[in-house]
């Protein structure tokens, strides 16, 4: 490869232009590139029946074949079929070898004019004029936008060369071809560029949505880890304190019992230290552990009263024999109900809600359902963070959850969290 670093700027620019043309129109001229079927997931085509979409996918191929048929019929109309067959064959070639078809269209244009005896528009007979325009349009649609500019420039250079050097003195139709093809290729290029930009924006939006979802998931897991840290740390501290105080509750305890309690306390303190060391990484520098105990299902009445004060009509129902559940289950259940009611306030202003808590054998059932928005206040847009957090909490406890719209336009969140009866301390 020639080193152009020491060349003049004009030479480097010309070299760059030639290299660009070579990549677009000279490398692998007859490379096999079959035109793929059209996508049928657009806003219009996806509404069509399935069997219709299967045929619509081949619509671009039908357009190219139709253009070839028209060109061939023009040749037959003039009484010289070969002048229509050759351009039509070149048009069909764009379906499999687009760049090669462009060069063949240029090369066969003088031949078609000679065969038809058409000298007034040399070198573009009516069939070759239509064929060249069609070929450039198809190739521009199948390649990059810069290819259209190169094809237009080469077509003009070839046409003017034939008119000035090989002409018999008659006028040519290169200028009309260039004018018409400029409008057509410009339209194709704009469409091409717009589609590429739309695909890029869609790809960026997809990546952004995935990153947002991942960030939301990590944030929610961090929140859950903080809360569980506080819950487990509290219980381990209680174990350590009770193990230390237990020997003093027994008169003259045997040494083995004292040693057992000492071992329990040491293990509890070591576990607590390790827990704080491992889970401490999820705490932000400005995070402070709450002074009050973590909420449980016993605090639901206060939560419901709070949202009622905010203007939400809530009916609460508790079924089954209420019992004490593991603190992690109680905390997660409380947070799920809290988030579900918050979503009703944000996304369904004016709607009423119903909360059902069911103590069943082997677990806890939760259901929060609301009707459609009935207020004059516009609902706030949501990013799905609340639903993601609820799913994480339920999944952490090996439960199941559904969140979906109801038939009347409302929304329902239902979850089941497996839990055994909390043993008394």
Task: Report the pLDDT averaged over residues 365-394.
Answer: 74
- Give the pLDDT band (50/70/90) at residue 7: low
pLDDT at 271: 72
pLDDT at 290: 52
**Cis bond before residue 123 (omega within 30° of 0):** yes
pLDDT for residue 1 is more than 50: no
Is 360 strand, coil or helix? strand
pLDDT at 148: 87
pLDDT at 238: 67
- Give the pLDDT band (50/70/90) at residue 357: very high
**Range with the poorest average pLDDT among 36-45, 217-226, 399-408:** 217-226
Beta bridge partners, 415, equal: 366, 401
Own/partner pairs for 421-424, CB < 8 Å, 24+ apart? 421/323, 421/324, 421/325, 422/323, 422/324, 422/325, 422/326
- Give the pLDDT band (50/70/90) at residue 155: very high
HSE-CB at 152 with a 13 A cutoff on CA atoms is 20
Q: To the nearest whole percent, how much of the chain has pLDDT over 70? A: 81
Give the list of residues 6+ apart from residue 168 with CB closer than 8 angstroms, or none: 119, 122
pLDDT tens for 165-210 read 877 556 678 888 999 999 999 998 888 888 878 888 888 888 887 8
In this structure, what token pair is assigned to residue 388? 């993601």
Q: 350 and 377 in contact (C-beta within 8 Å)?
A: yes
Three-point CA angle 31, 130, 75, nearest 5°: 105
As a whole number, the mean pLDDT across the chain is 80
**Range with the poorest average pLDDT among 13-27, 91-105, 174-188, 374-388:** 374-388
Three-point CA angle 317, 318, 324, nearest 5°: 150
Task: Report the pLDDT averaged over residues 151-158.
Answer: 91
């Amino acid at each position: 490869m020639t080193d152009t670093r020491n060349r003049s700027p004009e030479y480097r620019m010309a070299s760059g232009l030639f290299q660009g043309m070579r990549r677009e129109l000279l490398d692998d001229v007859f490379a096999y590139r079959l035109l793929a079927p059209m996508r049928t997931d657009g806003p219009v085509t996806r509404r069509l029946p399935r069997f219709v979409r299967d045929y619509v996918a081949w619509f671009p191929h039908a357009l190219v074949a139709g253009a070839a048929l028209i060109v061939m019929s023009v040749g037959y109309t003039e009484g010289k079929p070969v002048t229509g067959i050759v351009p039509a064959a070149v048009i069909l070639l764009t379906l499999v070898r687009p760049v090669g078809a462009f060069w063949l269209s240029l090369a066969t244009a003088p031949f078609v004019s000679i065969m038809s005896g058409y000298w007034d528009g040399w070198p573009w007979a009516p069939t070759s004029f239509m064929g060249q325009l069609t070929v450039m349009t198809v190739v521009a649609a199948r390649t990059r936008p810069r290819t259209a500019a190169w094809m237009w420039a080469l077509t003009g250079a070839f046409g003017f060369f034939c008119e000035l050097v090989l002409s018999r003195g008659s006028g040519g139709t290169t200028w009309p071809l260039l004018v018409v093809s400029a409008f057509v290729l410009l339209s194709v290029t704009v469409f091409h560029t717009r589609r590429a930009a739309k695909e890029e924006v869609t790809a960026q939006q997809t990546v952004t949505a995935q990153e947002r979802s991942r960030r939301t998931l990590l944030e929610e897991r961090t929140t859950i880890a903080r809360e569980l840290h506080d819950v487990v740390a509290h219980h381990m501290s209680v174990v350590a304190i009770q193990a230390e105080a237990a020997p003093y509750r027994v008169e003259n305890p045997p040494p083995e019992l004292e040693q057992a309690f000492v071992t329990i306390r040491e293990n509890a303190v070591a576990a607590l230290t390790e827990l704080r060391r491992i889970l401490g990484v999820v705490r932000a520098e400005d995070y402070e552990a709450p002074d009050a105990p973590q909420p449980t299902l016993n605090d639901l009445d206060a939560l419901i009263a709070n949202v009622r004060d905010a203007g939400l009509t809530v009916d609460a129902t508790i079924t089954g024999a209420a019992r004490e559940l593991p603190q992690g289950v109680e905390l997660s259940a409380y947070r799920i109900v809290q988030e579900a009611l918050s979503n009703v306030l944000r996304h369904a202003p004016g709607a009423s809600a119903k909360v059902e808590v069911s103590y069943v054998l082997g677990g806890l059932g939760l259901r929060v359902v609301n009707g459609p928005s009935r207020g004059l206040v516009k609902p706030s847009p949501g990013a799905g963070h609340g639903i993601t957090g609820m799913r994480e909490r339920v999944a952490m406890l090996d439960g199941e959850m559904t969140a979906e719209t109801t038939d009347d336009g409302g929304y329902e969140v239902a979850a089941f969290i497996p839990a055994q009866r909390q043993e008394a301390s």
